[in-house]
Structure 1
Amino acid sequence: MKVKVNIREVFKSIPIFKKFYHFLVLISRKIRLEFYYRSNDCTRLKTFQNIHHEERCFIIGNGPSLNVEDLDLLKNEVTFAAHRIYNIFSGTEWRPTYYLGQDFVLLKEIEEQAKKVEAKNKFFPINIKWLHDFNIDDAVYFYLNSEEFSTQLPRFSKNASKEVYEGYSVTYAAIQLAVYMGFKEIYLLGVDFNYAQTIDNEGNIIIQEGVKDYFSNDHNIGLKLPNLEKSFLGFLSAKNFAEDEGVLIRNATRGGKLEVFKRIQLEEVLNIEYREIWNKKQRSYQI
């Protein structure tokens, strides 16, 4: 019987070597960051600072509440969308202004699809380019600071060209990028904050029967499970930062369980009469 030994894990389990390992990781990260700050990737990201000064934007989640009718209303708005949003493209002419990803495991799985997404610009962590040979030529790369947190609020970046902080949600990264771009009104749509399977801070897996993860039939099985305890802290950090800096963040998601931000109807944001939209939907169902 052959036993496979992970030498790195054995090395890290010995206290003195563990400290040395973390020291090497720290030095390696600092060296890479110095190269990044001098790179074209960082220079390109700096060009986005305040390009949308005091404008509004919509950050689109992939929750089951997302629908093509709402996206059709946003064709002339600045929007952010992420990961597997391309699965809804067949039903709408809407396309995101900015497309981004953060989950390393998922991004490696969908790299070819991400390359084909129609968007004005694409944003990904430079970390995945370093560690997983991920490369999309026309993308803008930011440094994702994945410092751990469990009970305290994660930091919120005031300068995305320096770093974007981990918040256990790609939406948190999108909010930081939006603030860096100068947006003063940020509206969330399709951010349901509810999944069939999640993991808590103790490593327990929580299963909710009958809950759908996304607007499509995608799921998180085989991927990194969402940790809603940490994601909640990320959203709370974004809320606190926004209130301190005079940035308005509202949740226009239809339903869902994210209650950190005040709710608002999408029709109210767009100054559209709800009855007008409802009648339009009813007519489309009758055709």
Structure 2
Amino acid sequence: MTADDIARWFGEMDAELGGATLFLNETERQLVCSRKLFERRDVRYLDMRADFDQLSDRQVLDLTKPIPRVQSVPVMALMVAMYLGFKEIYLLGVDHDHFITGTYVYAFDLKAQRGKDDSVSSSGEILTSRHDDFQSLARLWRQYRVLREIAAANDVQILNATPGGVLDEFPRVDLDAALSGR
């Protein structure tokens, strides 16, 4: 995606996200500032230049310092939630089953991003080789495993309430039961 594509995408996000605070990589700060994006929104920039494989302890990650690069938004969301002090976190919509289904379904309508992901066809068909996809998934699963270990070391419970999907690093719970307190 070009800088113009990213600026359009950020504009779409700004129009749809209500009053949400955004967490972006610090590498996006210059684009956001120069194009005057998110002017009425709280934006926090994260210095994502560390590596999960080099984390030596299992403390909650300090978001004011360099943190690991992430493979997926839910990984970053888990880091943010733990940093903010949440002790019970439920995952929803974290499927990661595209390598089984052969398709990737975005959680939102693609506009500025339409046709920009060369790993997925316009119909959602996965175009990357299994080898490349599995390499990426192995990195992603290592990130989830480290976050599971961090959570356990800090009395944080991460529960997967996603119906279906293949993420197996966190205990599964039934969403209806969780919402009803059973």
Same fold (TM over 0.5): yes
Deviation by residue 1:87-131 (Cα, 9 ceiling, x = unmatched): xxxxxxxxxxxxxxxxx9984451111111213422222221136
Residues 142 and 217 from structure 1, CA distance in 2 versus in 1: closer, same or farther, beyond 3 angstroms?
Answer: closer
Counterpart pick for 1:246 among 131, 138, 155: 155
1:231 correspondence with 2:150: no
183, 189, 198: which one aligns with 2:86: 183
Question: Which secondary structure does the structure 2 equivalent of 1:110 belong to?
Answer: helix
Whole-Å Cα distance in 2 between the matches of residues 130 and 190 of structure 1?
A: 31
CA-to-partner distance for each residue in 1:213-248, whole Å, 9 max, x for gaps? 234565885337572221111111100000011100
Instruction: Give the AA of the match of 1:181.
Output: L
Aligned to 1:112: 11
3-state SS of paired residue (2:44): strand
Residues 197-208 of structure 1: matches in 2 within 5 Å? Answer: none
Match of 2:25 among 125, 137, 146: 125
Change (3 A) 1:125 1:272: same
Matched residue of 1:187: which SS? strand
Regions of 4+ moved over 2 Å: 104-109, 119-123, 130-135, 146-149, 152-158, 161-165, 208-227
Unaligned 5+ runs, structure 2: 120-132
Matched residue type, 1:248? Q
Structure 1 residues 234-243 or 122-131, which shifts more? 122-131
Identify which of 30, 33, 49 aligns with 1:146: 49
Residue 63 of structure 2 corresponds to 160
Cα contact 1:142–1:160 (8 A) shared by 2: no
CA distance, structure 1, for counterparts of residue 151 and residue 101 of structure 2: 35
Q: TM-score w.r.t. structure 1 length?
A: 0.47
Residue identity opposite 2:79 in structure 1: Q
Paired residues, number: 157
Question: Counterpart in 1 of 2:38?
Answer: 136
The residue identity in structure 2 corresponding to 1:114 is: M
The percentage of aligned residue pairs carrying the same residue is 24
Counterpart residue identity of residue 19, structure 2: A
Query: Map of 1:54-93 to 2, 5 A cutoff?
Result: none
Q: Please identify the structure whose Cα radius of gyration is greater.
A: 1
Q: Which runs of 5+ in 1 are unaligned?
A: 1-103, 197-207, 274-287
1:227-271 CA-to-partner distances (Å, cap 9, x unmatched) read 222111111110000001110001000001111111001112112
Is the 2:50–2:67 contact (alpha carbons within 8 Å) kept by the matching residues of 1? no
Aligned to 1:214: 106
Opposite residue 170 of structure 1, the aligned amino acid is V
Check conservation: 2:51, 2:68, Cα contact below 8 A.
no
Note the C-alpha offset of 1:173.
0.9
Shift of 1:153: 6.3
Query: Do the aligned residues in 1 keep the contact of 2:51 with 2:67 (CA within 8 Å)?
Result: no
